[in-house]
Amino acid sequence: MPLPESSPNVWHHKTGGGAVSLFGLPFFLVGVGVIVLAFIPQEVSGVDHLPFYVGLPFGAIFTTVGGAILFGRMELIIDRSEGTIIKDWKLLSKTVYEQSRELKEFDRIRLNSKIRLSKNSSYTVYPIRLEGDGAEAISISEGRAKNKARAQAESLATFLSLPIHDKLSGSVRIRDADTLGQSIREKFQSGTESNAIPDPPARMKSRVDYDGNSLQVQIPPPG
């Protein structure tokens, strides 16, 4: 059977499944174990009986969280031809919730960094969001790899022809979609990038010649 052809007007992003789902396995097994233990009589288990009002809620929480990670999937579909953004949350292949938005609500892509705190440690994630004035932002991803997040944001910006509001360096830097594929030299030549020449240091013996396009440093001979 031939593979389905991908459309140039559709941008896909999927999360869940694979190695990520294994993180939910311990939670799921603990939850199931606690629920089962609540039904086993003390004479059989050999330990103090776990009351139903403790075992069932406690086990259900762990089972739900673990099951969501273990079996949960998220698929994001952006269709330029239809002008829609569809976000599906699934348990395996069955859709449990779907969110639909219109592309015209958004006019920029936000790339940021945030520190997530856990009980014993912290880690940094790099959220990518679609934003628009007066519209609720929609999350694209929150990966832990900075380079992958930047590459994904650039891919989406090129696909949608939207600017990136990049805040990874601390201050917001707006990067237009049509300049993402340019080299540093091309950006300087086109004027999309600039760098002010600092004042020379005191008693500098070399001579700096700068005409706006090229810079030359004349170094005096030794002695």
Which tens digit of pLDDT belongs to each residue from 73-97? 888 899 998 999 998 888 777 877 8
What is the pTM for the complete model shown?
Answer: 0.65
pLDDT at 102: 93
pLDDT at 84: 92
DSSP the chain: -PPPPPPTTEEEEEE-SGGGGGGGHHHHHHHHHHHHHHHS-HHHHSSPPPPHHHHHHHHHHHHHHHHHHHHEEEEEEEETTTTEEEEEEEETTEEEEEEEEEGGG--EEEE--EEEE-SS-EEEEEEEEEEETTEEEEEEEEES-HHHHHHHHHHHHHHHT--EEE-TTSS-EEE-GGGTTS-HHHHHHHTSS--PPPPPPTT--SEEEE-SS-EEEEPPPP-
In this prediction, residues 180-188 reach a mean pLDDT of 65
pLDDT at 169: 79
In this prediction, residues 87-115 reach a mean pLDDT of 87
pLDDT above 90: percentage of residues in the chain: 17
Could you tell me the pLDDT band of residue 111, with boundaries at 50, 70 and 90? very high
Could you tell me the pLDDT band of residue 2, with boundaries at 50, 70 and 90? very low
pLDDT at 184: 61
